[in-house]
Structures are given as structure tokens and as C-alpha cells.
Amino acid sequence: MRTAALSPARRLLASALAATSLACGTDPYPAAPGAAVTPGFLGGTPSEFTPRPIPESGRLSVFRPHFDRYLDVFGVLVVATPATEAAKVSHAGTILAEWIDNDEDGIPDDAAAHAALVAGGAFLVMPATEDEMEELHESVSFDELEEAGFHIGQDLYGDETFPAGPPHVMGPGRFDAALEEVLHLVSNGWVEAHPEALGYRPGSRLTDAMDLARGGRFRRVPRRYPEAAWYHYDDRSCDYECMAAEYLYWALTSHLGGQAFPGRAEEIAIEWECSTPELLGTRDPAVVRLLTDPAFPLPRVLPDGRYAPAVGH
């Protein structure tokens, strides 16, 4: 669980969950990797992502009483607190479906990555605010979540989720963080399925490109980045793998046009200088070659909050 502005709450959940092994739980989700499945609980219409109450018994009950609603999207959960707006939970589920099934044919694009997410019990938690997330850290038993098979966690706050904000609309405004945080969750599957290309450790194609973007292979944040660097994340609590996760987010969303709305370049320049596909292609051809390599079924279209799979049910 990593974001452009890492809070103590997100750092804690990252260490508690994301670093654990991808061990399969005792009660895996029924969605078979690669099978033609619709995201769960859509009321029969793929355009509706309506959260359902978390059951009082069974595997999902481990999320009670702190969370009261959930979505099942291709076997990956979104769980929300009572204070989180239902529309924002639905939006997060839609973005999740779009990142997993980017071509919207009703089947996860990367069967191996999807299998890793399902086996690891991947889930997105949605508190209303960062303060509520910090409160959850005092009350949620991460040991119980792991015992139930939920090993890959990521958070997204309701107050940073903007279904009608940029880049869904090409105008100024606050960036919809659902695009970033859900991507961080889904990318765990890519890392597991394709470590030599998309892994976060030194020597993968992704991190080799990142080392060029940062002006060197820095295992820790340097006191000063080289002048030629175009990726210069400066949070000293972010380790090398964290830097790689952020780099993948910046590179992929920029390649897909998600950072090109008015005012965004100036807003993110302290960290990232390639806000448009054209800039990325000119300055960082290595990562563009990776992102467009047909060997890896990475997303080709930026999620827009509208998921309509072209399959019959």
C-alpha cells in the first residue's frame, strides 16, 4: 500500500499485509483464473456495482464489525466502513474491474496475475478518511485477516475518491486517487506473475528503467538527485521496492494519458516530470517499450469509471 504521499497509516498496513507471502487461503474465492466471470454482485447488470452487507458468518465475516459492506470483483474484495459513501465504493469496484479486465471482455487480461491476487486474498479497504484509517489500525486484527487468507491489502480513502474529477474529466481539479490506489493493489499480481520484467527488486526491466529515470540505482533516497533525472521521489521512508511501485504507477498512468489534464504537470513536477504520453515516450523509451510489450497483457486504456463487459450473461 503505497501512495504519492505516504501516511503512517498506509505505511503500517503495507508492512502488515503487502509484504506477506502469496499463500492461498483455506477458502479461496470461487472465481477461477481465466474463466469468463462477471464481477460479483452486480445485480445482473454489469454497469451496477452495488455493495452488499458483509455476512455475519463465513470467511468474509473477519472484516466485521469494522467494515459493513463489500464488493467481489473477479475474486478481489473491496470492503468499506459505514461512513464511506456507497457511490465511492461502487466507483472503486468499477476501477478495479477496469484495471483487471482492461479490454472489457469479461475475462481478466492476465490469468497468472489474477491467480496471484486471488490466491493472496487481495482486498481494498475503504475508510471515509485517513483519520478513520488510523483508527482502524488500532482495532483491526491483521493476524486474523491473514489467518483467513487475506494477505494483500491496499487502502483508499473515500475523501480522496472523485468519480467526477480528473482525469475522468480533462479539467483542473483534484486527481481521483482510486486510479492510483487500485492500481497499486492490482500491480501486486503483475509483480508476482512476471518478476523478471515487472518485479520491484533491482535487475528487473521495470527497475532498470527506473534506475535510468532516477539517474542511478539508489537503494535509498539520495540527498540530491542528478539534474537529468525525471523521477525524483524524495520520501526517505520509501524503500527501493516502494520507489518501483510508485514508478510503475507514474509511468503507466502517464502513458495512458491520466496525468495530462490542465495544471497536473505543475502539481506533480516535484516528483515526476513526464506528465504526458509524448514526454514519457521521449524521455523514458525503456519503460514505454516495457508497457507496450505484447508479452505482458498490461492495460492499454485508462479506466474511466464505466465498465461494460462485452459478454452475454
SS (H, E, C) 170-207: CCCCCCCCHHHHHHHHHHHHHHHHCHHHHCCCCCCHHH
List the beta bridge partners of residue 56.
Answer: none
Q: Are residues 21 and 117 in the same domain?
A: yes
Stated pTM of the model: 0.87
Predicted confidence (pLDDT) per residue in 114-151, tens digit: 999 999 999 999 999 999 999 999 999 989 999 999 99
In angstroms, what CA-CA distances link 17 with 25, 69, 150, 188?
A: 14, 21, 8, 12
Which pLDDT value is given to residue 48?
64
pLDDT at site 41: 37
Same domain, 183 and 206: no
> Is 62 contained in some domain?
yes
Residues 72 and 119 in one domain: yes
| One domain for residues 85 and 203 | no
Mean pLDDT lowest among 23-27, 161-165, 294-298: 23-27
166 and 257 assigned to the same domain: no
Assess whether 159 and 200 both reside in one domain. no
The domain boundary residue, chosen from 143, 161, 193: 193
Query: How far is CA 28 from each of CA 33, 120, 202, rounded to the nearest angstrom?
Result: 11, 9, 32
Q: What phi, psi does 164 have (nearest 5°)? A: -105, 15
Contact between 11 and 237 under an 8 Å Cβ cutoff? The reply is yes
- Grid cell in block for residue 30: 470461487
Boundary residue ending a domain (193, 218, 253): 193
Q: Does 304 map to a domain?
A: no
Domain count, the chain: 2
* Inside any domain, residue 59: yes
How many Å apart are CA 282 and CA 280, to the nearest integer? 5
Per-residue pLDDT at 85: 97
Crossing angle for the helix pair 240-255 and 205-214, nearest 10 degrees?
90
Angle formed by the axes of helices 111-119 and 178-193, nearest 10°: 100
* Residues 186 and 207 occupy one common structural domain: no
* The residue to which cell 498512468 is assigned: 253
Q: What is the pLDDT of residues 248-285, one digit of tens each?
A: 999 999 999 999 999 999 999 999 999 999 999 999 99
Residue that finishes a domain, picked among 138, 162, 193: 193
Residues 56-73 have a mean pLDDT of 95
CA angle 71, 72, 77 (to 5 degrees): 80
Q: Is 111's pLDDT higher than 60? A: yes
For 4, the domain range is: 1-193
